[in-house]
């Protein structure tokens, strides 16, 4: 048995990015894959997406339940507590040589905390990024300080991880895994996508994903109201909603989307599209609207426009295809008008995705083969 590497995944989003790293570990004779699923994967509210992992041929070694039936600040804190306890038990049983985690969600913070105490080295993917409007920002940087290996998406992010005191020799610029996933995906043609989703694409189409703004009090539902008001004015446009994450206030946003879809027959909502259907939608729609990181990290590779609403993603690198909008009906409507303008559309073919051109998973695997067994838990703070 080779080096045991445990991948922890908590949502449809991080699994879509981690899938090809997981496949590479599974196929490598020098490495042994372990999988822990937690968070939204195990919730009926969010589609029980752990089944997609199993359908892709992966064995799930441990399931860690975290989510409560509500999403207040107390519920989220309790979810973190449950995640730490559950992951501690899982890691004690599996005894991996290394864990791999991605991003900045609270269930991933729980897994990192459990691994740190268990003296298990952590490899963190997509560190060094900033998101001003969400507490993910603090979680992401906290995970960076708990981790020994860092796989970042851009040079600016590498510099920021080093600025946090990490050894430059352990901070690797590999590019964004989202771009990698796009290149490996089997994108469905429009006719097959319409059949699978049971929808019809009209003359225009938009994909909408809007998550709670977790560092603002009672503003997410107000911003969603403004967004829905702007969308209600569109004619001959198919609107495809993907549901928000399990963050504070997310259930309220889901209720608002359900109500909107029930009275607008050109609108459709999906708890979880899965990665193939999601990327196929990106390939077919005219653009995306909302505040998801995917609009910044993946959509530019499709040469499509992104309307990025509010401050949730403020601070991330952005391609020229991203239109930033204030969270008001007036500004969102103006941004949609710009997205469809001839000048904006004409420039999309020249867009360069700042998150790279692919091969991130292969770079990560190459590094894991050589570095995963030579990690010193007693790391020193790197002073600039």
For 270-316, what is the HEC assignment?
Answer: ECCCHHHHHHHHHHHCCEEEECCCHHHHCHHHHCCEEEEECCCCCCC
Q: Taking a C-beta distance cutoff of 8 angstroms, is the pair 65, 89 a contact? A: no
Q: Has residue 249 got a pLDDT over 70?
A: no
Q: Which domains does the chain carry?
A: 3-176+358-371 (3.40.50.2000), 187-350 (3.40.50.2000)
Question: What percentage of the chain reaches a pLDDT higher than 90?
Answer: 68
Return all residues near 72 (Cβ < 8 A) that are at least 6 apart: 248
CA distance 383 to 5: 30
Return all residues near 190 (Cβ < 8 A) that are at least 6 apart: 201, 284
Locate 264 and state its tokens: 């607008």
DSSP 376: -
DSSP-assigned states of every residue in 192-241:
HHHHHHT----SEEEEEE----TTSSS-HHHHHHHHHHHHHT-SSEEEEE
pLDDT band at 214 (very low <50, low <70, confident <90, very high): low
For residue 10, count other CB atoms closer than 10 A to its CB: 31
CA distance 145 to 167: 11
Identify the residue whose tokens are 């970042």.
152
Q: What integer pLDDT is reported at residue 373 of this predicted model?
A: 58
Q: Could you tell me whether strands 122-125 and 98-102 are parallel, antiparallel, or unpaired per DSSP bridges? A: parallel
Mean pLDDT of the chain: 91
CA distance 40 to 246: 7
CA distance 309 to 71: 22
Longest dimension (CA), the chain: 60
Query: Residues 314, 362, 162, CA angle at the centre, nearest 5°?
Result: 45
pLDDT in tens, 323-337: 999 999 999 999 999
Backbone angles phi, psi at 2, to 5 degrees: -80, -165
Query: Residues 350, 133, 171, CA angle at the centre, nearest 5°?
Result: 65
Q: Taking a C-beta distance cutoff of 8 angstroms, is the pair 324, 245 a contact? A: no
CA distance 82 to 368: 29
pLDDT in tens, 9-42: 998 889 989 999 999 999 998 899 999 999 889 8
CA distance 33 to 22: 7
Question: What percentage of the chain reaches a pLDDT higher than 70?
Answer: 95
Return all residues near 189 (Cβ < 8 A) that are at least 6 apart: none
Q: Has residue 81 got a pLDDT over 70?
A: yes
Q: Has residue 220 got a pLDDT over 70?
A: yes
Locate 261 and state its tokens: 């879809």
Q: Has residue 241 got a pLDDT over 70?
A: yes
- Identify the CA nearest to 207 among candidates 231, 178, 174: 231
pLDDT band at 274 (very low <50, low <70, confident <90, very high): confident
Identify the residue whose tokens are 């004015």.
233
In angstroms, the Cα distances linking 158 to 141, 172, 174, 314 are 12, 7, 10, 18
Q: What integer pLDDT is reported at residue 217 of this predicted model?
A: 57
Q: What integer pLDDT is reported at residue 371 of this predicted model?
A: 62
Q: What integer pLDDT is reported at residue 128 of this predicted model?
A: 92
Task: Give the 3-state secondary structure of residue 3.
Answer: strand
Return all residues near 125 (Cβ < 8 A) that are at least 6 apart: 17, 18, 21, 100, 101, 102, 103, 151, 177, 364
Q: What integer pLDDT is reported at residue 150 of this predicted model?
A: 96
CA distance 127 to 147: 10
For residue 186, count other CB atoms closer than 10 A to its CB: 7
């Amino acid at each position: 048995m080779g080096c045991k590497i445990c991948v922890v995944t908590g949502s449809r989003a991080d699994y879509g990015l981690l899938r090809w790293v997981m496949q590479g570990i599974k196929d490598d004779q020098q490495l042994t894959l372990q999988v822990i699923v937690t968070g939204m994967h195990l919730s009926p509210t969010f589609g029980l997406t752990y089944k997609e992992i199993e359908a892709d041929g992966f064995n799930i070694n441990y399931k860690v339940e975290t989510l409560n039936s509500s999403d207040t600040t107390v519920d989220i804190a309790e979810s973190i507590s449950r995640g730490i306890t559950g992951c501690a038990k899982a890691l004690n049983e599996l005894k991996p040589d290394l864990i791999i985690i991605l991003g900045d969600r609270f269930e991933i913070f729980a897994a990192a905390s459990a691994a740190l105490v268990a003296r298990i080295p952590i490899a963190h993917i997509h560190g060094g990024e900033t998101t001003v409007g969400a507490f993910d920002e603090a979680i992401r940087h906290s995970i960076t300080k708990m981790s020994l290996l860092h796989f970042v998406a851009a040079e600016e992010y590498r510099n920021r991880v080093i600025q946090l005191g990490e050894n430059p020799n352990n901070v690797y610029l590999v590019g964004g895994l989202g771009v990698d996933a796009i290149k490996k995906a089997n994108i469905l043609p429009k006719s097959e996508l319409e059949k699978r989703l049971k929808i019809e694409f009209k003359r225009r189409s938009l994909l909408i994903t809007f998550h709670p703004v977790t560092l603002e009090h009672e503003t997410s539902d107000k911003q969603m109201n403004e967004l829905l008001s702007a969308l209600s004015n569109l004619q001959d446009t198919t609107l495809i909603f993907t549901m928000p994450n399990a963050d504070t206030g997310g259930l309220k946003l889901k209720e608002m989307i359900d109500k909107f879809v029930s009275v607008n027959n050109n609108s459709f909502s999906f708890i979880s599209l899965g990665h193939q259907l999601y990327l196929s939608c990106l390939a077919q729609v005219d653009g995306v609207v909302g505040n998801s990181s995917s609009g910044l990290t993946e959509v530019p590779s499709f040469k499509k426009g992104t309307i990025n609403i509010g401050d949730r993603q403020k601070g991330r690198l952005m391609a020229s295809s991203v239109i930033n909008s204030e969270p008001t009906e007036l500004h969102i409507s103006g941004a949609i008008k710009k997205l469809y303008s001839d000048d904006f559309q004409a420039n999309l073919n020249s867009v360069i995705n700042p998150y790279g051109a692919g091969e991130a998973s292969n770079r990560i695997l190459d590094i894991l083969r050589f570095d995963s067994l030579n990690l010193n838990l007693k790391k020193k703070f790197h002073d600039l």
